[in-house]
């Protein structure tokens, strides 16, 4: 009986250490880090060495090897069976529409930030939030009494 317990313990220890070793990080060499273009923003990679593209709004999250959601996003649990293998999806913490400094209305501030990053990567000016809500139609004049 003791021999059986010892064998089981050794087998468990071997399986456990084997699983851990495959997840270990090698020595960090920042010079070998890629320079990704990420509309969702950046987060540290699993080894906390390089920057990696963060999951964007609507991307799966919450699984063992998933990176954290990007800036202004949180991992929201899914209803059972909606996306196979996923525990949740990244969702913007604020769902209100915003007007960008480019005069466009965005579904939320996270969508505006993603559009701003894409534009900056193409050499355009950054987009910031002008105000909450819809942008006024072009050419419209607002008058206050």
Per-residue confidence of the chain (145 residues) as pLDDT tens digits?
343 333 334 333 333 333 333 457 888 888 888 877 888 888 888 889 999 999 999 999 999 889 999 889 999 998 765 555 668 999 999 999 999 999 999 999 999 999 999 999 899 999 999 999 999 986 555 555 5
Task: Give residue 19's pLDDT.
Answer: 33
First to last CA, the chain: 91
Angstrom distance (rounded) from CA 107 to CA 112 = 8
Which residues, in sequence order, are CB contacts of 26 under 8 Å at separation 6+?
47
Task: Give residue 81's pLDDT.
Answer: 54
Task: Give residue 27's pLDDT.
Answer: 87
Q: Structure pTM?
A: 0.67
Angstrom distance (rounded) from CA 50 to CA 27 = 12
Task: Give residue 41's pLDDT.
Answer: 85
């Amino acid at each position: 009986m003791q021999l059986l317990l010892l064998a089981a313990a050794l087998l468990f220890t071997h399986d456990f250490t084997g699983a851990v070793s495959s997840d270990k990080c090698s020595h960090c060499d920042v010079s070998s880090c890629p320079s990704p273009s990420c509309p969702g923003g950046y987060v540290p990679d699993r080894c906390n060495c390089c920057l990696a593209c963060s999951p964007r709004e609507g991307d799966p999250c919450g699984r063992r090897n998933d990176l954290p959601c990007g800036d202004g996003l949180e991992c929201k649990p899914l209803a059972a069976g909606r996306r196979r293998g996923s525990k949740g999806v990244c969702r913007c913490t604020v769902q209100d529409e915003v007007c960008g400094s480019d005069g466009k209305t965005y579904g939320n501030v996270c969508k505006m930030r993603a559009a701003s990053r894409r534009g900056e990567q193409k050499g355009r000016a950054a987009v910031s939030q002008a105000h909450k809500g819809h942008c006024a139609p072009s050419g419209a004049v607002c008058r206050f009494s």
